[in-house]
Amino acid sequence: MLELINLSHSNRLMNVDYKIPAGRLIGVIGANGSGKSTLLSILAGGLTKASGAAEWRGHNLLRWSPYEQRQQLAYLSQSNSFHEPVLVKDLLRTSQINLIESAQNLAAWRDKSVEEFQLHRLMNRSITELSGGEQRRVMLACVNAMNRPLILADEPTASLDLNYQLLVMDWLKALSVQGKLVLVALHDLALAAQYCDELMLLHEGKLLASGEPNQVLTDTNLAIAYKVNVDWLCNNNGVAMLARRI
């Protein structure tokens, strides 16, 4: 279980409390600037000087060293930023540095990631030569190759076409079914409603609502957080939404 206790960071995140059991896919949603990326970055160790606590397996994530964090979590940042022409196959190996695992397991995880994210034709290419969507798939594969129990993904479907968006959400859902805890920041509320077990709706740095999607994505909450009215189109295969500005 991950328990957020009065988690705050300057005026970007304020007094967030939430208990999240393992084996769940949790969508972190909210308008731009609501605190989604701040929350994930704090948990990943990217933002220091946060107050409060994030208890995971009896330890406060905010007090762990980078080495200790690598044994527990994998983090996908919001944007791709590559300046060196590193080969894709080398990036996959680099993602596993300092993991306490056998060489056999690490190799198996890399092979599985290449298969799941369809990277066979990209392995000997430089990351700087790839399109934004291809770079995103490589970074997702790197996260998968780490095989950590806690996954933090900030806008993982950004730059991806619809087919790969669904592939990514299917992958995240599968990780949660395996018993991992997955926190994913999403802008697409239809994907959030379709895939996530629970949602955390942030508004101006505060937790406005949390719980199952149908409890969070109410007319009132959407009007406050996004300033929109929404009509939901639902069937057994998924959901779609039609939004209108207020």
Average per-residue pLDDT for the chain? 94
C-alpha distance from residue 99 to each of 95, 112, 116, 206 (Å): 9, 17, 21, 34
On whether both 20 and 65 belong to a single domain, the answer is yes
On whether both 136 and 170 belong to a single domain, the answer is no
Tally of residues, the chain = 246
Position 122 scores a pLDDT of: 96
Position 107 scores a pLDDT of: 97
Q: Which residues constitute the domain of residue 155?
A: 2-72+148-245
Contact 61, 43 (CB under 8 A): yes
Q: What are 102-152's pLDDT values in tens digits?
A: 999 999 999 999 999 999 999 999 999 999 899 999 999 999 999 999 999
On whether both 89 and 208 belong to a single domain, the answer is no
| % of the chain exceeding 70 in pLDDT | 100
Whose tokens are 């590193």? That residue is 86
On whether both 122 and 225 belong to a single domain, the answer is no
| % of the chain exceeding 90 in pLDDT | 84
Q: What are 151-161's pLDDT values in tens digits?
A: 999 999 988 89
Position 47 scores a pLDDT of: 87
Position 83 scores a pLDDT of: 79
Position 118 scores a pLDDT of: 92
Across the range 200-204, mean pLDDT stands at 98
What phi and psi values does residue 148 have, to the nearest 5 degrees? -95, 160
On whether both 67 and 167 belong to a single domain, the answer is yes
Interior/surface letters 206-224, b for 16+ CB within 10 angstroms, e for the rest: ebbbbeebeebbeeebbee
Is-above-0.75 flag for pTM? yes
Both tokens of residue 55? 């208890």
